[in-house]
């Protein structure tokens, strides 16, 4: 994928006062040791590979190349950010998701492997379909909608987020992955940005599902760096899910799919919301790769 981070230095002639790749990696490992422990050397390697638009394997062949002054300056600032606890993906400005390298910054959640599984379940459900139209609620970086547009039988997607910052990131990702013409990005709270009469074959969402009181049990890297609006749902964790379950039938085609990522802790409550609505067929709760009840799929009756 094209596109360069603004702060990334342009390659320029090597400055002999600066370290070689090998020396920079050694320094990187030492800088990160206190924060990252056993992972320090690996993280130092990945950061430098990302900075130099290289790969960890290729860097091994370039160990004697000197860094330019710019490259060394940016690498040191990246190491300092990592040592302060910032997630690697925010530092590099990129996160891997399925086939994609998506742009991320602190206005979006870093897309997760569990969500790759959510996309997989939607793709399975869609197999054999064509010309489908989907809705992604809480699109963040656009990971779900963009993947489904590229990998599935979707003609178009509407993607909604309450955060203007997130939509800016999704817009860049849509453009870099060449789906911008098929992705309609809208700002608003859940269904508020939809027009009366709009109908979708699939509504998919990875909504905020952490209870406000659970903040203390989150890893620091999540709690201190990822956007609160992407994480917390309210006192129980099921608030946003229940709003989606309640309103989705008005926007789904008959027999259409509602696909949600949920926390294992709210999975039972989410299933109960669907049963209580009585408008859906019996839902299916699938496990993620870690064996957690995470992916909730329900078809609209009728």
Chain contacts with ligand SAM (rule: CB under 6 A): 108-109, 111, 115, 137-141, 143-144, 160-163, 166, 189-190, 206-208, 229-230
Token digits of residue 273 = 């919301």
> Please, what is the end-to-end C-alpha distance for the chain in angstroms?
42
Distance CA(169)–CA(41), nearest Å, equals 30
In the bound complex, what is the minimum distance in angstroms from residue 30's beta carbon to ligand SAM? Answer: 33
Positions of E strands within 144-199: 154-161, 183-187
| Residue 266 burial (C-beta neighbours within 10 Å; 0-12, 13-18, 19+) | buried
The residue among 52 and 144 lying less far from ligand SAM, judged by its C-beta, is 144
The residue among 15 and 212 lying less far from ligand SAM, judged by its C-beta, is 212
The residue among 60 and 172 lying less far from ligand SAM, judged by its C-beta, is 172
Strands 183-187 and 293-299 come out as: unpaired
In the bound complex, what is the minimum distance in angstroms from residue 275's beta carbon to ligand SAM? Answer: 23
The residue among 126 and 135 lying less far from ligand SAM, judged by its C-beta, is 135
The residue among 67 and 110 lying less far from ligand SAM, judged by its C-beta, is 110
In the bound complex, what is the minimum distance in angstroms from residue 185's beta carbon to ligand SAM? Answer: 12
Q: Are the CB atoms for 107 and 139 separated by under 8 Å?
A: no
In the bound complex, what is the minimum distance in angstroms from residue 18's beta carbon to ligand SAM? Answer: 37
Positions of E strands within 10-149: 94-97, 100-103, 132-137
In the bound complex, what is the minimum distance in angstroms from residue 112's beta carbon to ligand SAM? Answer: 7
């Amino acid at each position: 994928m094209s596109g360069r981070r603004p702060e990334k230095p342009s390659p320029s002639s090597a400055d002999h006062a600066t370290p070689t790749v090998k020396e920079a990696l050694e320094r990187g490992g030492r800088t990160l040791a206190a924060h990252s422990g056993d992972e320090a050397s690996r993280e130092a390697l990945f950061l430098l590979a990302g900075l130099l638009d290289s790969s960890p394997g290729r860097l091994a062949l370039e160990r004697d190349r000197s860094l330019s002054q710019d490259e060394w300056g940016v690498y040191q600032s990246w190491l300092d950010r990592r040592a302060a606890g910032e997630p690697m993906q925010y530092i590099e400005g990129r996160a891997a998701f399925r086939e994609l390298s998506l742009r991320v910054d602190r206005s979006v959640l870093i897309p997760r492997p569990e969500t790759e599984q959510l996309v997989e379940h939607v793709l399975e459900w869609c197999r054999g379909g064509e010309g489908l139209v989907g809705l992604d609620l809480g699109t963040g970086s656009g990971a779900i909608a963009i993947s489904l547009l590229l990998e599935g039988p979707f003609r178009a997607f509407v993607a909604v987020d309450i955060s203007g910052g997130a939509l800016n990131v999704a817009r860049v990702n849509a453009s870099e992955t060449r789906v911008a013409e098929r992705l309609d990005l809208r700002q608003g709270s859940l269904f508020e940005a939809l027009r009366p009469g709009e109908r979708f074959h699939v509504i998919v969402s990875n909504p905020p599902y952490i209870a406000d009181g659970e903040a203390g049990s989150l890893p620091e890297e999540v709690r201190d760096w990822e956007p609160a609006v992407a994480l917390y749902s309210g006192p129980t964790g099921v608030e946003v899910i229940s709003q989606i379950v309640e309103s989705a039938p008005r926007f789904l085609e008959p027999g259409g799919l509602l696909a949600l990522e949920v926390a294992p802790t709210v999975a039972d409550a989410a299933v109960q919301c669907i049963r209580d609505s009585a408008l859906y067929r019996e839902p299916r709760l699938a496990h993620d790769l870690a064996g957690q009840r995470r992916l909730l799929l329900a078809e609209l009756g009728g």
